[in-house]
């Protein structure tokens, strides 16, 4: 009987020991995941709407999980205060001008707190500091904006289609211009007149060059042009020589 009792006690002791060991392992893994065993500091920020952010949610800095949301408290009807607990080893990287924002982990994932890097010239935050925040963009607002844009695009498309039909049928001023052969002929004649006018202008300029009153002016212009050409050639030769000497 005593042997049976001793065996039962031994088995019970082993079972309890295994249970305690498993409990410690679970606590260790949970603590490691939640960073319970590392030194921490706190920062807080205010939002008008936390957009589904929950206590225990992740805090990320540069895409890395660095802490968790400790408390979310309503201050008044327009302000919600969020306190985050963050690993002390990233404290030197978070600046006083860093800003907090709320984002989703994936398309439909949990809400997380994102902390921006801030400027390198700004001092690092202290324990308990408050940083500024960006208000989160609500998914419903995005859908509403897309809906309005789609409706506007539909209206514009309909109006363009109506306008093109009117033009093809020769309605309106633009339709008449594009479909009236008389207007097309007039435009063609106008272009021909412009070409003839430009030819006449060229002839007048050529005649002016041979006019004894203007001949000196044009010769002066030609000399200046030739002088500028020679100076450019000399400069090019000089640069070529300098490159060759180097």
Domain ranges of the chain: 1-33, 39-137
- Provide the token pair at 147: 């809906």
Q: Which distant-in-sequence residues (6+ apart) come within 8 Å of 169 by Cβ?
A: 175
Task: Please tell me the predicted confidence (pLDDT) of residue 138.
Answer: 62
Are the C-beta atoms of residues 227 and 234 closer than 8 Å to each other?
no
Task: Please tell me the predicted confidence (pLDDT) of residue 159.
Answer: 74
**Pairwise CA distance, residues 75 & 82, whole Å:** 10
Task: Please tell me the predicted confidence (pLDDT) of residue 84.
Answer: 93
- Interhelix angle 172-179/139-168, rounded to 10 degrees, is 50
Indicate the SS3 state at residue 59. strand
Q: What CATH architecture does domain 39-137 belong to?
A: Beta Barrel (2.40)
- In the numeric block, the tokens 């968790």 are attached to 68
Task: Please tell me the predicted confidence (pLDDT) of residue 137.
Answer: 64
**Pairwise CA distance, residues 66 & 24, whole Å:** 23
The segments of the chain whose pLDDT lies below 70 read 1-6, 8-9, 27-38, 106-108, 137-144, 163, 166-187, 196-219, 246
Task: Please tell me the predicted confidence (pLDDT) of residue 115.
Answer: 92
Are the C-beta atoms of residues 204 and 196 closer than 8 Å to each other?
no
Query: Strand (E) positions, 39-194?
Result: 40-47, 58-61, 64-76, 79-87, 99-104, 111-115, 129-130, 132-133
**Pairwise CA distance, residues 15 & 163, whole Å:** 85
Task: Please tell me the predicted confidence (pLDDT) of residue 61.
Answer: 92
């Amino acid at each position: 009987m005593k042997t049976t009792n001793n065996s039962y006690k031994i088995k019970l002791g082993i079972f309890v020991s295994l249970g305690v060991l498993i409990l410690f392992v679970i606590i260790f893994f949970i603590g490691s995941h939640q960073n319970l065993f590392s030194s921490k500091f706190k920062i807080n920020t205010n939002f008008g709407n936390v957009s589904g952010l929950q206590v225990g949610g992740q805090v990320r800095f540069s895409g890395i999980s660095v802490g968790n949301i400790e408390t979310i408290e309503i201050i008044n009807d327009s302000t919600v205060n969020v306190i985050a607990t963050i690993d002390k080893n990233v404290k030197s990287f978070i600046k006083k001008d860093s800003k907090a924002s709320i984002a989703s982990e994936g398309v439909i994932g949990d809400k997380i707190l994102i902390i921006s890097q801030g400027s390198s010239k700004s001092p690092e935050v202290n324990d308990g500091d408050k940083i500024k925040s960006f208000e989160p963009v609500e998914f419903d607002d995005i859908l509403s904006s897309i809906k309005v844009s789609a409706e506007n695009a539909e209206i514009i498309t309909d109006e363009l289609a109506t306008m093109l039909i009117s033009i093809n049928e020769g309605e309106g001023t633009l339709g008449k211009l594009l479909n009236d052969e008389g207007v097309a002929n007039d435009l063609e004649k106008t272009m021909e007149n412009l070409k003839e006018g430009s030819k006449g202008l060229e002839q007048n300029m050529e005649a002016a060059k041979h006019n004894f009153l203007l001949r000196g002016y044009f010769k002066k212009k030609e000399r200046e042009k030739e002088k500028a050409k020679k100076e450019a050639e000399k400069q090019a030769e000089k640069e070529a020589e300098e490159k060759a000497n180097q």
